[in-house]
Amino acid sequence: MSAGERGYRYRFYPTPGQAALLTRTFGCVRLVYNMGLQARQQAWQQRQERLSYSGTSALLTGWKKTPEYSFLNEVSCVPLQQSLRHLDTAYTRFFKKEARFPRFKSRKRSRRSAEFTASAFTYDNGELRLAKLMGEPLDVVWSRPLPDGVVPSTVTVSQDRAGRWFVSLRVEAPATTAPASEGMVGIDAGLNRLLTRSDGGRVDNPRQERRERAALVRAQRVLARKAKDSRNREKARLRVARVHARIADRRRDLWHKVTTDLVRENQVLVIEDLAVRNMLKNHTLARAIHDASWGLFRTLLEYKAAEYGRTLLVVPRWYPSTRLCSVCRLLAQKIDLSVRKWTCTGCGTRHDRDVNAARNILAAGLAATACGADIRPQRGTTSRAGDRR
């Protein structure tokens, strides 16, 4: 059983003193990151010098000794050093062309978080203590136990836009295992049905955002009437953020349940590569596509398939899965999005639009994997066709 890094995220409730110190820590982390980024930019622009992590770390030591930034000594030094390490990683990823150039963190928009390494926290018998928090353990809701015998390597404390506090523990733990399965499934993502399986199974779309739209509209309307930078505006902003958090939590919970069932039951899973970012340019369907959260579905499915030792195959987005007959392989011409069932003129089979697409996705993925077959179908003519995208 191979070991690997895993993360466990829990909600916790800080005391007023803990909340105040952590809030200051978040601000110091953001400030040090921005100062490090500015220093690296100036070093290159003025002297063509490339500052590394060690260079910015030495600058941090000097900043703490100045009267202007002496308040940096009030918080743990480890999160500040980790922010400079993250900055160094951002530069490395930029030079590898894996990400864009690092940007300055905004007080209003940036994620509020601080990372503590092993030297800045203690974990013992379910009690987690952080450096400079007066020795009080965090009031963590241990919703699931950590694996036996593991000790966290890093602890990340964060606060979301709705004001909720979370702690994430990274541990070295054995990967999740499951008995080998002979199941194979093709999965077609949609809007009316969140997903349809090649075996006919389906998950209806609960439309989480639509369920909360009235509450969201009311909260946003109240927010728009509040004076800028007032306390009442901040209270109204929190109400809006809590509605968004409720929607996101329900959406994430559903996708976690669906993806876990899929990887437990099937050895091979085949999905379609959806160009979600391009599809969001369709302003008629953008809200519904965003609410379906297909990107989250793929992210969860990818990491769970790797954990469970499953095979995940991805069919190219241009594959005409909807308008290809899964029985005789005849390619139709155009099928309007409103047409949910259609009849193949080649073999006379009556198809459910989504089930037919899922079966074609499964067949295409298996064919390409087994023998390197060309997954493009043979072109033909029939009465009505058209890819659903």
pLDDT bracket for residue 367 (50, 70, 90): confident
Domain hosting 68: range is 3-174
Answer whether 160's CB lies under 8 Å from 113's CB.
no
Give domain status of residue 339, yes or no. Answer: no
Give domain status of residue 45, yes or no. Answer: yes
pLDDT bracket for residue 387 (50, 70, 90): very low
Give catalytic residues, as residue numbers. 188, 272, 354
Residue 374 backbone zone (phi > 0: left; psi -120 to 50: alpha; other: beta): beta
Give domain status of residue 125, yes or no. Answer: yes
Residue 51 has pLDDT above 60, yes or no: yes
Average pLDDT of span 164-191: 85
Give domain status of residue 388, yes or no. Answer: no
Give domain status of residue 258, yes or no. Answer: no
Give domain status of residue 63, yes or no. Answer: yes
Instruction: Please write the tens of the pLDDT for every residue from 199-253.
Output: 888 999 999 999 999 999 999 999 999 999 899 999 999 999 999 999 999 999 9
Instruction: Please write the tens of the pLDDT for every residue from 260-319.
Output: 999 999 989 999 888 888 888 888 888 988 899 989 999 999 989 988 888 899 888 888
φ and ψ at residue 162, rounded to 5 degrees: -85, 5
Residue 370 has pLDDT above 70, yes or no: no
Overall number of domains in the chain? 1
Give domain status of residue 292, yes or no. Answer: no
Give domain status of residue 307, yes or no. Answer: no
d(CA 26, CA 18): 12
Answer whether 74's CB lies under 8 Å from 24's CB.
yes
Q: Cβ contacts of residue 37 below 8 Å, gap of 6+? A: 87, 102, 104
